[in-house]
Amino acid sequence: MIITFLGTGSGAPTTKRNVSGIALRFTQRAKWWLFDCGEGTQHQILRAPVKLSQLEKIFITHLHGDHLYGLIGLLASRSLRGGGESAVELYGPPGIKEYVEGIMAVSPVHLQYKLSIHIVSPGVVFEDEEMIVRAAPVAHRVPAYAYAVEEKARPGAFRVDLAVQAGIPAGPLFGQLKKGESVTLPDGRVVCGRDFVGPDIPGRKVVYSGDTGPCQAIIELAADADVLIHEATYAHVEADLARRAGHSTAREAAQAAKQANVNQLLLTHFSPRYESDEGLSMEDLLAEAREVFPETELAEDFSSHEVKRMRQLIGE
């Protein structure tokens, strides 16, 4: 899994940062998912290592414009450019269906693919054989959800050495044992495949907060995550502004990461005030977060981050 930021600013786009949009790429599947779709996201996609035709799912955290206003144009362009005939699944809070269908009714959009819209509620919102996505309500001025994307654990490696020690002949029996099946050997012994397979390989976990003030829900959702992507709209000296707007400071994001025991924190959704030459800077946001949680980075438009399993990073 690779995270690519398409927009890392808040409120309105600037010359340095577009508004919210995050691509989560699955390199082995040639598919990717989009989290939030602020105005201009499709322009960002043109400059990013993703193809609109390979977009599979879209998750919207809430219905504020800087997370939503690029959606209809992106859906339309996916048809106009060709190659986008595969279905798209759209997930979002109550109101997302009315929003999409209302705009399409007034300004007709003829999609060349099936668009399915799912209304999010707390708990599991998607699951297949490989992945599971959970949603949790967070603390914002409108109904808003954070999302956790988790890979399911995979079976461990087949222990050829143990099979050889047990006198099991190489060949088709190895394949059956690797699947965990019980097999009868030529000498009449019955062996169980589970005894010849190593521990399950844990999947990776990525959590995206969307817009939120400090809340227990994001800490619980992000528990033991490999990566937490958390908004950090303000510096902590401006916590009063954050409270009024339903946002978090960089320090509060770091505190959530620490309490959730995550491996890495990526900050995003920055107020444009920290890009000016006066007052506090982006470096100040990073410094205050790292005082609490050292494994913190600032997201930049088009920056990419490979999601590594925690045990790989700590050398297990």
pLDDT in tens, 95-130: 999 999 999 999 988 899 999 999 999 999 999 999
Residue 176 CA to its chain's centroid (Å): 35
211 belongs to the catalytic site: no
User: What's the rounded mean pLDDT across residues 240-269?
Assistant: 97
User: What's the rounded mean pLDDT across residues 28-50?
Assistant: 95
Average pLDDT, the chain: 92
Report pLDDT for 314.
40
* Cβ contact 121:143 at 8 Å: no
21/45 Cα distance (integer angstroms): 10
Report pLDDT for 287.
97
CA angle 234, 120, 122 (to 5 degrees): 80
User: What's the rounded mean pLDDT across residues 21-45?
Assistant: 95
Report pLDDT for 313.
41
Q: Does 49 or 85 have the greater pLDDT score?
A: 49
CA angle 128, 134, 135 (to 5 degrees): 145
* pLDDT at 289 exceeding the cut of 90: yes
Q: Does 246 or 85 have the greater pLDDT score?
A: 246
User: What's the rounded mean pLDDT across residues 291-308?
Assistant: 97
What are the backbone dihedrals phi and psi of residue 165, each rounded to the nearest 5 degrees, phi first?
-60, -30
Report pLDDT for 281.
94
Report pLDDT for 195.
85
User: What's the rounded mean pLDDT across residues 171-196?
Assistant: 83
Q: Catalytic: which of 66, 211, 226, 301?
A: 66
Minimum mean pLDDT range among 26-30, 54-58, 210-214, 284-288: 26-30
Query: How crowded is residue 186: how many other Cβ atoms within 10 Å of its Cβ?
Result: 9
Report pLDDT for 310.
62
User: What's the rounded mean pLDDT across residues 135-154?
Assistant: 96
pLDDT in tens, 145-163: 999 999 998 877 888 888 8
| pTM of the predicted structure, to 2 decimals | 0.89
Q: Highest mean pLDDT: which of 109-113, 180-184, 232-236?
A: 232-236
Query: How crowded is residue 13: how many other Cβ atoms within 10 Å of its Cβ?
Result: 18
- 2-154+200-313 has CATH 3.60.15.10 classification: yes
- Could you give the residue range(s) of every CATH 3.60.15.10 domain in the chain? 2-154+200-313
Quote the tokens at residue 188: 């009449």
Report pLDDT for 71.
98
Report pLDDT for 291.
98
Report pLDDT for 83.
60
* pLDDT at 135 exceeding the cut of 60: yes
* pLDDT at 276 exceeding the cut of 60: yes
Quote the tokens at residue 112: 């060349």
